[in-house]
Every structure is written in structure tokens, then in C-alpha cells.
Amino acid sequence: MDQITINILTILGGMALGGVISGILIKKKKIINIKKAKETAEKQEEEAKSEAEKIKKETSQYVQRRRETIKQERKIKEERFVKLEELLKNKEKTLQKKEEKRKEDRLKTAALEEETQGVWGEIKKRDTEIIEKLAEKTKKSPKELKEDVLRKHEAELKTENKEKIMKTEESLKENAEKNAKRMIIGVIQRLCSPTSVETRVVAVKVKNDRVKGKIVGERAENVKTIEDALDVDIVFNDMPNTISISGFALVKRRIAQKAIEKLVRMKGDIKKETTKRAIEEAEKEIDKELYKVGRDALKKMGIKEDDKDLCRTVGRLQYRTSYGQNIMKHAMEVGWVSLMLGSELGLDPKTCAISGFLHDLGKAIDQEEGVKDTHDVLTKELMEKFGFSEEEVHAAWTHHDAEKQETAEALIVKAADAVSASRPGARQESFDKYIERIKALEETATSYEGVKNAFAISAGRELRVLVDTEKINDGELENIAEKMAEQIENEITYPGQIKVNVIRRTRHTEVAK
């Protein structure tokens, strides 16, 4: 054999020997693993037996404890049942005693009733005998005697009632003014809204004065377009970086303000067509704004808000003033005061609130072209148009005495209107003008022949005129009052209405000596 063959055989022999040795080692390892597994299983079995014994012991102890507990509970329940049984027996005995007593009471009651019936029978018999004897003596029938007695008592009761009514009326008259003042003061103290005076001028801020020139346009065409379309006055040179807008119609003034604000934000040149378009857009926006303002106001006052025309009309009150007083705020004040006064007097709160809030609704349209009626008449027409009840319409539109107030709610609205309009700071009128108006009223009255004196009261809303009884007779009073009222209407400027009262009083006194 050559050396290569010998090497191959040597390698093969080595490999065979290695395989045999590996097999022996693997078999030995398996035997060792089996032994270990057996030992582990035996150990686990012992542990399981020990654990089972432990659980069995604990279970036995638990069962024993539960048996003892159940026995104790059963014993307690049995004792309780015994006590309850005794208690029920005692109650049964008590009920039996009560029933026996009740039977005794019934028997006594029946005996008393029989005795009472006998007494009543005796009384009726005696009454009959007395009436018959009286009839014999007076020679009148029992019916006639009863009628005489009733007439006598009826006359006495009428006299007593009349005296009581007179005393009550006197007491009410004495306390009426005091109670009214207390009530009004209490309501005014509860009214915490700020004063509602507004100016007739609004301002639009601009970044710089160059913007003003762009808005003015060539030959001031843009400004003229706005002023002619909306009947407002626009001032550019009053203050730096400010454009002032003034006007009597505040809705139009608001539209002008909105249009100018749009022009301020525009880039590039501004022409007449651009200005007209800005005005149209502003009118649409203000229309939406009026609707929202009116809807919110109606909602706040608890009035139906489903009519869009009503919402827009009410919204216009936001842009209406009277002597500087914002009518929307004034209307809400009157609504709240009417509601509080009405609640104090037990009147219909809904009617008071609605009539008070809508009493000046006519002022929303009284400045429009072609409208000639006074605002209270317009209020009546608008409220009837929007479907308010007769009571609400009457209470709202009669606050200036165009028609006599027929309901308590109407009088309350009139009082609330005076409270809101005359409270300090509510209206923008200087003290000098106020004194001048008061003097003019008094001088107008004293200029008539036969007038002794005149007094303007209630902040100039009423004129009381005292005439000479020797120069003026009762038949002339009406004529004098009409003439004075007509002269005041033509010559004096005043808010609302003025009541002229001409008084002629005679008095003759004698002294008993």
C-alpha cells in the first residue's frame, strides 16, 4: 500500500472511532438526563403531596370555622325571632285595647248625639212657642217677624260696612303717597343700568392724513357722494388721523361710518363708483346688524323674536336718540321698571314688560321721509301690525296721554317712562336751557288776563295755573287751557307732552263764636 492509502484508512478509522465515542457519550448523557428528570418528577410529586396536605388541612379548618359562625348566626337569628314574636304579641294586645276603647268612645258619641238631638228638638219647640207668642202680641206672622229682624240687622251691617270702608279709604289715602314713593324708590335702587346719553358725532381712525386725501377724491366727489346719499356731515380737518361723521339720522350715520371704514381699508385709488359700492355693502351689513341687535334685545326682554321685520324695527332703536338719550337703552329701562312695578302691584308682568319695552317703538320710523304721525301713534300702528294684544298695545301707546289710560299696566308704563327719562344724567340738556324752558312756560301762563300765578312742575311736564275767581268763571277755564296749550305748542320747544291744568278755587270761611 502506498502512503496515500494508508492515510485515508487512518482518517476513516479515526472517524469511525470518533462516531462510536460520540454515540457512547450521547447515550450516557441521555441516561443522566433521564435520571435527573426522574428525580425532579419525584421531588415535584412530593411537593404536590405536601401542598395538597396543606390545602386539605386549611380547608378543613375553614369549614370548621364556617360551621361555628353559621351556628352562632343561627342562634342570634333565633333569639331575634323570639324577641320579634314577643313584640308582635304585645302590639296585638295594645291594638285590642285600643279597639275596645274605640268601641266605648263610639257608644258614648252615639249617646251624646241622641242627647243633643233631644236638646235641639226641645230648643226648636221652645223657639216655635216663642215665635207664636210674639206673633200673638205683635199681631204679625212668623215670616213677617223674621223679615223685620233681618231688615234691622241688614241696616246695621250696611252702616258698619260704610264706616269701615270710609276708614279704609282714609287710611289708604294717607298712606298712598308714602307707599308709592317707597315702591318707586325701591325700583329705582334696583335699576343699575348706566346713563344712556350719546353724542351725535362718531369718529373713524385712519393711519395717516394721506389716507384722508385718497378718500376725499378729486373735487371731493367721494365725500359729496356719501353726504348726499346719507344726509350726513363729514369733517376731515377736525383732528389728526380722524374723520368725524355727524347727522341726526343715526342709522344713516352708522352706514356712513361703515362705508368710510371700508374705504380706509381699500388699496389703490378710490373713485365715485367705488364709494357707491361701499355704501351699498355697508347698507346690507347694517341691515343684518339691525336684525341681530333687535333679536338680541327682544330675547333679553322675553318677547317673541320670530318676526324678522319686528327685529329690524326694534334694532333701529339702537340708532335713535331723544335729547341725547339712547332710545334702545331707554326702552329697556322702561321695560325693566314696568316689570318691577307691575310685580310689586300684582299686575300681569308680561304685559308690563312688553308694553314698557315697546312704548317708543314708533321712534324707529318717525324720522323717515313722509312720516307725519307722532311716535306714540306710530307705536300703536306697528304693534297692531306685529300682532300684539289689545292690552299690550293700549298700555304702550298711551304713555303720553294721547288717550286716557284704561288699565293699571298703562299707568305703570307711563310712570316707568318718567322714571327713565327724568333720572339724573339720562338726557343731555343743560341746566340753563332747563331753567329757560321752565320760565317760558310760567311766563306764557301769567301773560293771560285773570291768571294769579303759574307753576311748572314734574320737570316741566305739567303746568298748573291758578286764576282769579272774581275775574274768571268756571265756563272760561276750558277755553283758557286750550289757548295756553296751543301757544306752548307753537312757541316753546320741549320733549314729550305738557299737561296744562287751570285751577279756579273758591273758599268761604266762617268762625263759630
**471, 449 in Cβ contact below 8 A?**
yes
- The residue to which cell 306710530 is assigned: 378
| Cα–Cα distance for residue pair 311/304, rounded to 1 Å | 9
Whether residue 173 is contained in a domain is answered as no
Cα 397 from chain centroid? 22
pTM reported for the whole predicted model: 0.53
Q: Are residues 83 and 212 in the same domain?
A: no
Domain end, chosen from 89, 118, 147, is at 118
Cα 342 from chain centroid? 13
Collapse the DSSP code of 410 into the 3-class scheme (helix H, G, I; strand E, B; otherwise coil) and give the result: helix
| pLDDT at 99 exceeding the cut of 70 | yes
- The residue to which cell 268601641 is assigned: 103
**Cβ contacts of residue 136 below 8 Å, gap of 6+?**
none
Mean pLDDT score of the chain: 82
Q: Are residues 278 and 381 in the same domain?
A: yes
Q: Which residues pair with 233 in a beta bridge?
A: 246
Q: Are residues 303 and 397 in the same domain?
A: yes
Give the Cα-Cα-Cα angle 367, 369, 372 (nearest 5 degrees).
Answer: 70
- Which CATH number belongs to the domain containing residue 444 in this structure? 3.30.300.20
What is the mean predicted confidence (pLDDT) over 449-465?
Answer: 86
**pLDDT the model gives residue 244:** 83
Domain end, chosen from 58, 90, 118, is at 118
Query: Regarding beta strands 325-326 and 451-457, do their DSSP bridges make them parallel or antiparallel, or are they unpaired?
Result: unpaired
Q: Are residues 263 and 346 in the same domain?
A: yes
In the structure grid, which three cell numbers stand for residue 464, read together? 298748573
**Cβ contacts of residue 319 below 8 Å, gap of 6+?**
250, 251, 253, 254
Give the whole-number percent of the chain exceeding pLDDT 90.
5
For residue 252, which amino acid is it?
Answer: K
| pLDDT at 423 exceeding the cut of 70 | no
Whether residue 225 is contained in a domain is answered as yes
Count the domains in the chain. 3
Q: Are residues 12 and 94 in the same domain?
A: yes
Q: Are residues 334 and 212 in the same domain?
A: yes
**pLDDT the model gives residue 232:** 82
Collapse the DSSP code of 449 into the 3-class scheme (helix H, G, I; strand E, B; otherwise coil) and give the result: coil
Give the whole-number percent of the chain exceeding pLDDT 70.
86
Domain end, chosen from 64, 89, 118, is at 118
**SS3 track for 249-305:** CHHHHHHHHHHHHHHHHCCCCCCHHHHHHHHHHHHHHHHHHHHHHHHHHHHHCCCCC
Cα 505 from chain centroid? 47
For residue 81, which amino acid is it?
Answer: F
> Of the given ranges (81-90, 162-171, 336-345, 490-499), which has the lowest mean pLDDT?
490-499
Q: Are residues 412 and 479 in the same domain?
A: no
Collapse the DSSP code of 176 into the 3-class scheme (helix H, G, I; strand E, B; otherwise coil) and give the result: helix
What is the mean predicted confidence (pLDDT) over 175-181?
Answer: 69
**pLDDT the model gives residue 144:** 76
Whether residue 56 is contained in a domain is answered as yes
Q: Are residues 210 and 277 in the same domain?
A: yes
For residue 417, which amino acid is it?
Answer: D
| Cα–Cα distance for residue pair 338/184, rounded to 1 Å | 10
Q: Are residues 389 and 446 in the same domain?
A: no
Q: Are residues 282 and 408 in the same domain?
A: yes
Q: Are residues 474 and 401 in the same domain?
A: no
Whether residue 307 is contained in a domain is answered as yes
| Cα–Cα distance for residue pair 485/29, rounded to 1 Å | 136
Read off the pLDDT of residues 259-295 as tens digits, 9 standing for 90 and up. Answer: 888 888 888 777 888 888 888 888 888 889 889 989 9
Radius of gyration over every alpha carbon of the chain, rounded to an integer in angstroms:
52
* Domain assignment of residue 265, given as a range: 201-422
Read off the pLDDT of residues 342-380 as tens digits, 9 standing for 90 and up. Answer: 888 888 889 999 999 999 898 888 877 777 788 888 999
Relative orientation angle of helices 142-190 and 327-345, to the nearest 10 degrees: 150
Whether residue 465 is contained in a domain is answered as yes
**pLDDT the model gives residue 197:** 54
Whether residue 293 is contained in a domain is answered as yes
The HSE-up count of residue 162 (CA atoms within 13 Å, CB side) is 6
| Cα–Cα distance for residue pair 469/506, rounded to 1 Å | 7
The H or E element spanning position 48 is helix 3-138
Q: Are residues 312 and 416 in the same domain?
A: yes
**pLDDT the model gives residue 275:** 85
| Cα–Cα distance for residue pair 409/351, rounded to 1 Å | 7
